[in-house]
Structure formats: structure tokens, C-alpha cells
Structure 1
Amino acid sequence: MKKSIIIKNILVFAVLLLTACDSFLEEEPRGLLTTGNFYNNDSEAILASNGLYRILHRGNLYRTRGLDDYLVSGTDVVGPSRNVNANIHNYLINEGVSDGNGVWGSLYELIRNACDIIDRVDNNESLTEDIREQVMGEALFMRALAYYHLTNLWGDVPYFRELLPLSELAVLERVAKETIRTDIKVDLEEAYNLLPSTYSDDELGRATKWAAKALQAKLYLFDEEWQPALDACNEIINYSPHTLLDNFADVFDQTDITNQYNAEHIFVVDFTTDPVIGDLDTNRTDDYNPRLRDEPADRNSVPTTNNPDGLANWELLFNALGEIDQDMTGYGWAIPLPEIADQANWDPDDLRYDATIVTEYLGFQLSFPYYRKNWNLNNTSPRENHSENYIVFRLADIYLMAAEAENELNGPNGAYAYVNKVRERAFEPNKPWSGLSQQEFREAMYDERKFELAAEGHRKMDLIRWGILLDVVRTVEHRAWNNPGANIQEKHVLLPIPQQELLLNPNLLNTDPTNNGYR
């Protein structure tokens, strides 16, 4: 059931502007409070925790292209349908040019607020034990999630675990990624022990212990700590309430706004159609929704059969959409690259293709292919005001991670069970893997994760950790208006520390004057 767990405003250093939220559209202002007289009861602690979820709704994170710019663009799965977003997709990034400054700022805001909550809630006798543990666990998870993204995108970054005075924050140097990740893996184990396994329907969307374990598994996998990664994945597979859905397409079905969660989702960012505030919703969907001005192919042609009113193809498509209460009102610029859009590059029995890619709709050939799994044409999901949840972690990813870790530890024999569990629903007839060498299994996983998780925010980090990003970008087919293969360099596996941050704090260059190779 679609319910709210978020509030309108968030902690910013020592000031809180609070609103209670019983549902997405019901808010009651509580006035201006300082942290000194806050956290006096369970309700106030929950409100503070809700503020952390609110930050995830920022356009710089999950609401629009924010994180997607750096997790999805510039690989072999998604590209623009026209000459837009070119700096990022074409690797024309530099200090001050698409350097992720907004993402950086929002992630550190999340960290600062999580640190404040941890300090205020820990050993707070005004709170019941259950709420104290839940809020502490949520704050530990959110802080770890922020550092996970920061270290993935920038490597070594400023690191703090308590809310520092501005004077100290302003002079921090970068800390080794390995140090940060060692700490947050421990934090996530504590979060796992503190957080509940499930929530009631009106609290869906909150981080559970399984969300903490999934993030921990990701960190172990990225750091090639294979046994801890496998153990974390097995914990989720064997003991969590999460299960794989029987139908791949159902994982992404967001058409019913009252039933947008399912058993495969481990952690999502919950969005809602919002006529009041304007940022409880998401417009990421519009990147994947077509725009009618592009569609269909031969849009201005006038068919001579079954067309008594002499309408153009686009008018016929518009009418056909209207009959099922749909429209094409998106931006249509996050579309599959030609190779993944071509069904000839998929196994012919892979059922995921039709659930992932769409090239024809309602009998009309489309000008571009689109990601069916990420679009929603229903008029109940209007342009720039969508309610679709962003799926951050889901169970199929965990199975594939377990398969990868097991293969690295012991070879493929024990890894087949994990990957074949995912492939059971993907193929008709079933096509389980067998008879592969360790290296063949490793390389087969490159494509298996691409087809299972396309356009879900995993591909770029996968290619980077496998060490094949440059080779893939240089060899995959791009569209005529893009040429990232000619521009990508070794330095592009990381972003430069944002120029604005360097101007405010030159100490960020102390440990690396080259700024990740961009100087």
C-alpha cells in the first residue's frame, strides 16, 4: 500500500523545520525547533528519521537524473534520444563541468543529518527501546548509503562520523576509501541488528535489516571480499521475507499506486503524485516515457486503410492511447542503446526482452526503442508528477551477487544454483548454466547482469569494478550524435572533486593535487 514515511523539511545543522506526515498529502506544521529541545519522545525521533528519507527525494539523488547521470549514463545500456546531456554521456566532464556538485552536496547533507540523529538518539532515555533502535539503525544505514555513493563516484572523500562545527568541516582533507568502507561495513552490521525485518503497511519504504544487509553485501562485493559478500547474500536469500516474483515484468509494475511494493523489493525510494509540495513525486519516469512529438515512426503519414477521418499516424496513436487512458508526455531521452535494443543480441528465449524493451506499441512502430520497465504511460501518472518508486535493491541482484562471489571463491559448480534461480523465470524453456570454466562464468555474468538489471542504476559501477568500462564504451554502438568512446579516459572511472568544493576548501587537494587525474 502506498503510504508516506517522509516529511517536508529536514535537519540542517542545528535547526529543524518539522512537519508530521500521516500520509503523502497530509502535513501538519510543527514550528521551528532546535536540536537542543528535540528528541524528547518517540514521535520526534521518528520525525527526524523521516527527514533522512526526505533527502533521498532530492533531484540530485533519486528524484530526477541526479544519481542516474553517473550510475546509468555513459555505459552500454542507456543513451539520449537526441543531443542532450552530452557532457555526461560523452565524458566531457571536468572540474566545474558536470562534476556532480549537486550530488556531492546532497549526500553530505544526508551524512550530516544522520550524524546528528545518531548523536541525539544514542542512549536517549526519553525514547522507547524499539524506536531508539529503529531510528539509530535507519541513521546508520543512511550514512552508509551516502558514503557508498561518495566512494563509488569520487574514491577518497572527506570523512566524518559526528556533526562537526562548520570551521572543521571547511578544512577537512580526503580520507582513503578503504578506511571509510571498513567503518561503514561495521555500521551496517549494527544497523542490521537494530532494524526490524518488516514494517506495517503504513510504514513501507523504511529501511529494514535486509536493506542494511544488501548494502553491506554490495560493499563487500565491490571490494572483492568474496566470502563476506557471499555470507551477506545468503543471509538475505535464506532468512529474509523477500522472494523472487514469478513474472519478471511484475517486478516493475507501478501502474497501481496503491500496490507499488512487492516481495522482490528490498529497498526503494517511495515517491507519490503530489499536487502541493512538488517534490514528493518523481520526474525520472519522464526520461523513460516517450514524447508524442517523436512518435510513432512516420508520424505524419496518413494511412489509407481503416482511416475514414484521414488522420495522421500520430493522431491515430494519440486516440489509441486515449482509449486506454494513456498518453506519451515524457521527455523520451533515456532510451536503450542500439545493441541492447536489438533483440538479436538477446537469447531468443529470454522473456526479459519484451518486459525490458519496447519498439512497437498498440500496433504502431515506434521511432525509438524505450525501456518498458521504467515507463508508465497511465494518465494517473502525469508528466513531472509521478508516483513510481525507485528500486534501489531487489532480490534478483542479490542472487547474481551471490553467484559472482561463489564463483570467485570456489569456481562455478556452487554458483550455478544462484544464477539459475534468476534464469528460471527469464527463459521459456529454462536455460540453466552449466559446464563453464571460472573465467567463462565470470564473463557470462557481465551480460547476465546487463540483461537482468538494465537501466536500474547498477551497470556503470559493475563495469568499473570489473575493469572493463573503457573497453565497453569504446566498442558498443552509440547513436550518431554521441561519441563517448572517443573521449573516455582512465580518469573517468572517478569524478573530479567538484570545483565549488575546491574553492571553498583547498585542503581537498592535499592528498591528491591531480584531483583524480583531472589536473
Structure 2
Amino acid sequence: MKKLISYIVVIVACASFTQCTSSYLNTSSPSNTDDNFVTSTPSETFKALSWCYANYRQNCIMGIYRWNDPIGSDAETYPEANSSNNVNATLHPENMTIDAVSGGFNNLYVTLASATKIANIIAGKAAYQADVAAGTTSDWTQLYGEAITMRAFCYFNLTKHFGDVPYGYENTYVTNYTLTSRFAIYDSLINSLEKVEPLMYKIGDNGMTAERMTRTFCDALIGEIAFYAGGYQTIRTDVSGLYGNVQFTKKGNIANGCEYARRSDYLNYYKIAAKYLQAAITNEGTCHLITSDTRSYTNNPFQLNFQYFENLQISPESLFQLGNIQGGQSGQTTNSEYPYAFGRPSNGGSKNAAPCKTFGALRIIPTVYYGDFQKGDKRRDVSVAVTGSTGDGNEAMLSFVPGNKLSGGIAINKWDENRFNPPYTTAQRESGMDWPVLRMADVMLMLAEVDAQLGGEDQAAMDLVNQIRERAFGDSNHNISGLTGQALEDTILEERKLELLGEGTRRWDMILSGEFSERAIDVQNAMKSMIAGLQANGYYRFPNGNIISDYIWVKKVYLSNPLTYDCTDTTNAALYPGWRGQYNYSSIAGLKIGGTNHNLAIQGLFSYIDPNGPVAASLVTAGYTKTNWGIDIVNNASIYYSNILSGITSVDDPPRYYWPIPSETISQSNGKITNGYGLPSN
């Protein structure tokens, strides 16, 4: 690993750049590395800036499952037992190595340094200066704003995942650097973005898409940074004077040199957040919440957002998605990691499988699937998979036995390689699906949460939530009304959990709400109650009427259309729950397909069937097989208890969710930087 001071003197060398998104992957970079040539025109300048997108996608921490964000909450968990890959997710930072994520840390600095260099070059151009003086949005002002937005995006990632970090040293040789308060960084980032956003293009303007950082995304990023600045977070108590004059409201105990707190003037930041989150909606351009579905075979506009990704297209709901290409051609290889790491699991091999292997690092805690979704919510089956793929064109039940692929528990269903048309079956991790970063529903629900806390905006908050719920249920019968105060805030947080399940937001919602430890204890207790019921009775009934049982019964069946969609007929065992099945892989040459009955009929998934009773006997006679279900949770309870936020043992524990600053950065700081929060220092 190189020293931090090596990264903060990075200059733009366009010959080393690789283009990033699908719209410009096939262009070539110039061989001349002179700054003036590299930035001679807007198109040449963008080739340089595209390297920043590529380096963020390729090297800024997808390898550790996106910083563990999607696998460490009261809704999401990791599937394996005793793995070092989820130490951060379980909140046991003392068990991490100091250089656990050094690659991501260093490459965030590399990326932001390059973006800063490009911005500084643009700022010196007469054409850019003339456009700014005239208040004219142009390609030059867009590129400058884009570079500043990329810089802010990288620093925001650093503060989220490391807390207080070195700031502002890029492209300057330094031998004496220290930590900067995250709150000072937030202020500086907000200020820099407020200056550039008025002269950036909205999505849809001048050919801009959500694969680039636009005014629409910049507005949302300002709002999000302000939202984080005003939210609860774990701060250090072991560095005197680090936070200057910032005053805090604190919760719980001081432990490991840290405590859980929120700045006392947080409402000032929520006002900024409200202004710019609303601006993102106002300046949405061609981006919008998807509320209708024109497909003839289904009517689920919520799923349509994810189908765009599976169609290798840009979703109109995206404010920003990182581009990929399919196939990993020579010189253009991109990591299509999202469906592999977070998709619907598959036991397929690494090459020429139907579909190829999907590891499935993201699993849904069963109390959420069974207990939190209301009847009629179209998001449940789109979001959670109970079946996966064998890899030879057949559907198979997921198992609650700890593991990966078809083991490890029920999984996220939003990214399913069966729903590509056609699926890419040549090799794993090369499907070409874009990496989702931010979508409009997230922005709307952040704004609702801010409105609920500002006072006097309760109706506005509920209106935003109801737009999301009307899409989820297909009607207004499930709208919320008459809520205020904590009840409204809790409802919004619950809506965010269901809407954004598996998308890496729930962990941060828990943190920012100030209720991380309480919610961690709640889900731990919910799991204990469920397991106790399964152990004592063979089943457990949730308040909404759903039942999880020790056993289910399954049978392989033939469907002429093996890829299934919405199904409300609970008696149709082959189609309910919906959004499962398999692509018709027999239409793809060169694949080994097993048998002809590719689908599963499932009995007892939401109701109890006595294993020794007449219904079970009749199912066996009809060709069904008794299959372990909840009993595997019971038999592996200790693993589930360990994987679900086990670093929290009391509501007074400060959550410790940061990654360690790498060793070289610490050693080169001449004693001015240390790791806090109980993280390793060597």
C-alpha cells in the first residue's frame, strides 16, 4: 500500500484512465498527458473525469460487500458462519485488521484528488470563467460541477465509513497532516456544492443521464450530507478539541473512547437538507418516481425500477447509477459485482451456467419478511427471494443453514440474473448490470423524515410517504394520516425499511435516528421469540397472521412460462409467492439443463402443516417432499444471534460501525492520527 502523501499528490494522467459508463466505454483516451491537451475541449476533459467514475466503481470498496452497509442492520444480515467478511456488520470492530479496507480508503483519496485536479484546471479556463460570469450553464460549468460533486461524494464516503479523516490535502505535498472533524468536512462540502449546483445540467438536459453526476444528483447529495450532519452518529471522545465548538446531545454510555451523539444545532442542518432534497425533486429533469407499469404481463411499477437494471438500461428513477458493460471485453473489464454479491442466489458454476454463480452475501432477517410486510404490499416478493437457482435451469428452495449460494437464508430478490433478457451465462461477475447509488424514492423518504422533524410539515411528510405507499399497494387504501411526532418518524423509518430493503440504507437510518442500539436489541429479541416458538410448537405466528413453520413441502412442477410475476392467489403453490421461477434457459445453446420440470410448488410457507397430520400425508402422496425450513434456524440459532448486530448488548452501547484508518496513513502522520472506537492501531 502506498502512503497517503503519495495519493494526495496524484495528478491527472489521462493515458492511465479507463472509461466507465456504458455510453462512453468504447472511447479511447489520448496518449498525450499534458494538462492543456487533456482538457482542451469538454469532450476531452470528460474522458479524464471518466477515470474518476471508473476508479470509484472498480476500486472504492465493492470487495467487502460495499462497506457492509447492506448486511448489517435490523433487516439484513450475512449468510455465513464465523466469517471475517461481516465483522464490521456485526459491530465487532476490535476483530478487524487495521488494513481491512485500505484499498477502498486509498482509492477514495486517489479519486477525489484526480477530480480536484480536473476542477482546478477547468477553473483556469477563460471559457469557463466567462460562462460563470454570465451565469450560463454550459459544458464547462457542468464538468466543473461534476468534478466538485465527485470530490464531495468521495469525502462523504470517507466520513461515513471512517468518521474524522484527513481533509483538503489533495494535490499538495505534505509531511504533516492530521484529522479534520467530520462536521467541518460536512460544512466545507455543502459550501462547495452550493456554489456549483446552479450551473450544472439536470438529468435529461444536453444528453445528461443518471450515469453522470448532474444538478439533480448534486442537489440530493447536498441534502444527504446535511441530513447526516444533523443526525446521530458515534463520535470520538479520545481526541481533545477535535470537534471545536460543536455542542452535542448525547445518548448512552461512553465506551472505547466514543459515544453516540447528535449536534445540538441539528435543526439548522435539517433545514438545509429539506431545501436541497426538495430541489432534487424540483430539478428532477427526466428523473421521476416510477408510478405506472405498461408491461402487459404484470403491473408492478416498484419492480420496474429494478427491471431497468436487469435490462441493462438506465432507470428513470435513478439520480445516479454507476455504469457497467457486459462481458468484460479486453481493456474494458468492469466489475458487475452487484448481482453476484447481492442478487438472488445461484449454485451455478463460474462459467456457462444457467445462471452462473451468485454468492448472495445479502440475506433478509426472517422476522422482517414474515412480520413487517402488510397484506397486498407488492414490494414483498420483489424484495425477498425464498427460492434460488441450481445453475442448471431449475428453481430450488433457499436453506436457512448458514452458508452461501443456496444456503444462508432467504435473500434479496431485487437483482435476479434470471430476469436479464437474455441472461448472461458465459461467466459470473460480467453481466453488465449498473451499480445503483441513489433513486428518487430514497430522496422523497429522506425529505419526509426531515419534514417530520422540522415541525409544521407533518402533512407534507405524510404526502411523500403516501406517494410511495400508493405505488406499493396500487391504491390509496393504505395511506397514512393523522400522525405526528415520534409516531410519524417511526412510520417513515419503517417505510424506508420496506421500500429500500437490501439497498444499503437501513444501517444508516438506524444510526441517524439515534435508535440504533434500541432497534438492534428489538430485532435480537424478535428472533429469540420466533426461535422459541418454532422450538416449542413447530411454528411461530406473527401479529400480521403470517406463520413460519419448521417444515414446508415442495414439489418440482412444469410451467409453460417458468419465470413468474405477481401472484395474489395464495392457493396457487407454483406461483405464490410471486417473482421467482427461472428463465427458460433451454432457449440458450450450449447449456446443460436438468430435466423438464423447472419450477417449485411450495406448501406451508405461510401456514402451519402438522408434519404428522393428514394434510402432510396427502401432500406426500401428491409428490411433495417434506423440507426443512424454520427448523434450520432453530438448529443454527447461535449463528443467527452472532450475525445479527451481536456487538450491541445494551441500549446504552454506542454503535461502533467505522472501519480502521489504514496503518500507513497512521504511521506517516507522526503521531497525529490514531484509530478510535476500539479499532486496531497496528
**TM-score, structure 2 normalization:** 0.64
Q: In 2, distance between residues paired with 1:476 and 1:506? A: 43
Q: Secondary structure at the match of 2:220?
A: helix
Q: Structure 1 residues 193 and 476, CA, compared in 2 at 3 Å: closer, same or farther?
A: same
Q: Structure 1 residues 417 and 291, CA, compared in 2 at 3 Å: closer, same or farther?
A: closer
Q: In 2, distance between residues paired with 1:249 and 1:406? A: 27
**TM-score, structure 1 normalization:** 0.82
Contact 1:464/1:493 (<8 A) preserved: no
Larger helix proportion of the pair: 1
The answer to whether structure 1 residue 410 and structure 2 residue 415 are counterparts is no
Deviates more, 1:122-131 or 1:460-469: 122-131
The answer for the alignment partner of 1:437 in structure 2 is 484
Q: In 1, distance between residues paired with 2:347 and 2:283? A: 49
Deviates more, 1:330-339 or 1:500-509: 500-509
Q: In 1, distance between residues paired with 2:678 and 2:290? A: 44
The answer to whether structure 1 residue 287 and structure 2 residue 341 are counterparts is yes
* Letter matched to residue 465 of structure 2: V
Q: Secondary structure at the match of 1:223?
A: helix
Q: In 2, distance between residues paired with 1:516 and 1:236? A: 35
Which residues of structure 2 form unaligned runs of 5+? 1-8, 132-137, 231-268, 292-300, 389-393, 400-408, 528-636
Q: Secondary structure at the match of 1:31?
A: coil
Write the mapping of 1:157-236 to structure 2, written as runs, cut at 5 A.
157-160=165-168, 163-165=171-173, 168=174, 170-197=175-202, 198-199=204-205, 205-224=211-230, 225-236=269-280
Q: Structure 1 residues 492 and 435, CA, compared in 2 at 3 Å: closer, same or farther?
A: same
Residue 486 of structure 1 is aligned with which of 646, 664, 670?
646
The answer to whether structure 1 residue 356 and structure 2 residue 383 are counterparts is yes
Q: Structure 1 residues 257 and 498, CA, compared in 2 at 3 Å: closer, same or farther?
A: same
Q: Structure 1 residues 500 and 78, CA, compared in 2 at 3 Å: closer, same or farther?
A: farther
Q: In 1, distance between residues paired with 2:348 and 2:210? A: 37
Alpha-carbon displacement from aligned partner over 1:182-220 (angstroms, at most 9, x marks no partner)? 111121122311211135568651111000001011012
Contact 1:248/1:425 (<8 A) preserved: yes
The answer for the alignment partner of 2:284 in structure 1 is 240
Q: Structure 1 residues 31 and 363, CA, compared in 2 at 3 Å: closer, same or farther?
A: closer
Q: In 2, distance between residues paired with 1:428 and 1:126? A: 50
Alpha-carbon displacement from aligned partner over 1:90-121 (angstroms, at most 9, x marks no partner)? 33324635643222111111121111112111
Contact 1:234/1:402 (<8 A) preserved: yes
Give the Å deviation of 1:398: 1.4
Contact 1:74/1:90 (<8 A) preserved: yes
Give the Å deviation of 1:403: 1.1
Residue 516 of structure 2 is aligned with which of 455, 461, 469?
469
The answer to whether structure 1 residue 427 and structure 2 residue 473 are counterparts is yes
Which residues of structure 1 form unaligned runs of 5+? 1-10, 296-321
Contact 1:287/1:332 (<8 A) preserved: yes
Q: In 1, distance between residues paired with 2:278 and 2:59? A: 34
Write the mapping of 1:62-461 to structure 2, written as runs, cut at 5 A.
64-66=62-64, 68-83=66-81, 84=83, 85-94=85-94, 96-97=97-98, 99-125=100-126, 129=131, 130-160=138-168, 163-165=171-173, 168=174, 170-197=175-202, 198-199=204-205, 205-224=211-230, 225-241=269-285, 242-246=287-291, 247-254=301-308, 257=311, 260-273=313-326, 274-277=328-331, 279-293=333-347, 326-327=354-355, 329-342=357-370, 344-360=371-387, 364-367=396-399, 368-377=409-418, 378=420, 379-380=423-424, 382-411=427-456, 412-430=458-476, 431-461=478-508
Q: Structure 1 residues 98 and 82, CA, compared in 2 at 3 Å: closer, same or farther?
A: farther
Residue 667 of structure 2 is aligned with which of 490, 495, 503?
503
Q: Secondary structure at the match of 1:392?
A: strand
Give the Å deviation of 1:334: 1.9
Contact 1:92/1:487 (<8 A) preserved: yes
Contact 2:145/2:196 (<8 A) preserved: yes
Contact 1:46/1:131 (<8 A) preserved: no
* Letter matched to residue 471 of structure 1: E
Q: In 2, distance between residues paired with 1:329 and 1:360? A: 14
Q: Secondary structure at the match of 1:447?
A: helix
Q: In 2, distance between residues paired with 1:255 and 1:176? A: 37
Contact 1:117/1:139 (<8 A) preserved: yes
Contact 1:111/1:146 (<8 A) preserved: yes
Contact 2:71/2:89 (<8 A) preserved: yes
Q: In 2, distance between residues paired with 1:97 and 1:471? A: 29
Q: What is the number of equivalent residue pairs in this alignment?
A: 471
Q: In 1, distance between residues paired with 2:671 and 2:36? A: 32
% identity of equivalent residues: 20
* Letter matched to residue 373 of structure 1: K
Q: Structure 1 residues 391 and 86, CA, compared in 2 at 3 Å: closer, same or farther?
A: closer
* Letter matched to residue 375 of structure 2: P
* Letter matched to residue 374 of structure 1: W
CA RMSD, Structure 1 to Structure 2 (Å)? 3.0
Give the Å deviation of 1:59: 3.8
Q: In 2, distance between residues paired with 1:70 and 1:159? A: 24
Q: Structure 1 residues 345 and 257, CA, compared in 2 at 3 Å: closer, same or farther?
A: closer
Q: Secondary structure at the match of 1:267?
A: strand
Contact 1:134/1:196 (<8 A) preserved: yes
Q: Secondary structure at the match of 2:459?
A: coil
Q: In 2, distance between residues paired with 1:108 and 1:386? A: 28
Give the Å deviation of 1:365: 3.5
